[in-house]
A and B are shown apart, each in its own frame.
Chain A
Amino acid sequence: MSEDSHPFERFLRDGMMPHIWCEGCGNGIILNCFVRALKDIEIDVNKVVVVSGIGCIGRLSGYTNTDSYHTTHGRAIAFATGAKLANPELKTVVISGDGDLFAIGGNHFIHAARRNVDIQVICANNFNYGMTGGQYGPTTPLKAWTTTTPYGNIEHPFNLVHLAAASGAVYVARWTTLHVRRLTESIKKVLQKEGFSFIEVITPCPEIYGRRNKMATGIEMMNWFKTAAEIRNASDPAEAEISPEKIVVGEFIDAEKPTYDHLLREMMKQVQERIRGEK
């Protein structure tokens, strides 16, 4: 055994490791799978931009050795849409939290999916607002305990994969941070796909969420994923439940549809030609 350099070092921004995430937090696994995907498909990292919003997972954009935007809370998709329209050459990947993307940023999400903007969205769903102290949010399961639901949550959570599919996403998958291989394969796929793609990653937040829900360590949360996960590829995302007993994972949708960027450029060309013709 020797102390040498990690094979993914060149995909991580110089001097940024160790990251800020807690012991047993799954965000590092998402970063790990993402950089492995970059490496595996040998993509030109100068053509990749990682965009994140605010939250623990939002720090990810500062760790990848790509161009990146760490944007304002809830606005990652808006910034990514701008970047993509300004420079269609870019692979624009949004990696952000459940709170960021689906509470404050919910409208950006559904409309970017509806328009089929060619961006790839990876959501780290840890069932709460980790960074600000564990408040409940739009993905907190019914009855779960958080700092702001001390008697248990009485709100029903979003089913993110159903929401993405219903909003028009052309690729929809859900994995947990234990499904490292399948998650990496999904990321590789969306990095090579055109159109609004969505991957939900169920990830442990033992420090802030797990501790209050009888899973005080990352290992306990990962073992919950291990026993509860059921792979159901191509099944109806509306039925993809998340409960203490069952977490339905898989690739639900993989379709094709003209992208907003493509239609926009086509229309601009037509209009310009018409104007020139009339002169």
Chain B
Amino acid sequence: MPLRLWRKPLDSEKIKIPEGEVHVLKDRCKGCGFCIEFCPKEVLEQSEEFNIKGVHPPQVKEETVCILCSFCEAVCPDFAIFSVKKDCKGGC
């Protein structure tokens, strides 16, 4: 659909964008960088630390913008990252 035909969804006021929390299983990471490259919200960056495999696992740069799309989880070839709904009990 051409961009000019796009409309604001009718229920956009009612929908609350979920907030996600990213978990990294550091020692599983092989350092391919897919999660960092393809996160649509640029939540992740390469860390300085070395993991057991001698690569730099990703770390969260800006968690507040994570919308729980879970693309990082789906595109990770090594089951080293996943996202969950943020626990907002204490307030987000």
Contacts and interface: CB of A to CB of B under 8 A. Distances in A.
A245 to B, nearest CB: 21
Interface residues of A, number: 35
A239 interface: no
B38 A222 contact: yes
A6 B38 CA distance: 20
Contacts of B37: 219, 222-223
A20 B33 CA distance: 18
Interface of B is mostly: mixed
A32 B60 contact: no
B78 A19 contact: yes
Interface of B: 21-26, 28, 30-34, 37-38, 55, 59-60, 71, 73-80, 82
A219 B23 contact: no
Contacts of B28: 17-18
Nearest to B74: A180
B79 A1 contact: no
Tell me what chain A mostly uses at the interface: helix, strand, loop, or mixed.
loop
Contact of A218 (B26, B33, B73): B33
Contacts, number: 79
Interface of A: 1-4, 6-9, 12, 17-19, 21-29, 31-33, 36, 177-178, 180-181, 184, 217-219, 222-223
B32 A219 contact: yes
A200 B28 CA distance: 27
B33 to A, nearest CB: 5
What 8 A-B pairs have minimum CB-CB distances, sorted nearest first? A28-B77, A180-B74, A23-B30, A24-B32, A218-B32, A6-B79, A29-B77, A23-B32
Contacts of A12: 79
Nearest to A11: B79
B78 A28 contact: yes
A17 B22 CA distance: 20
A36 to B, nearest CB: 7
A6 B78 CA distance: 10
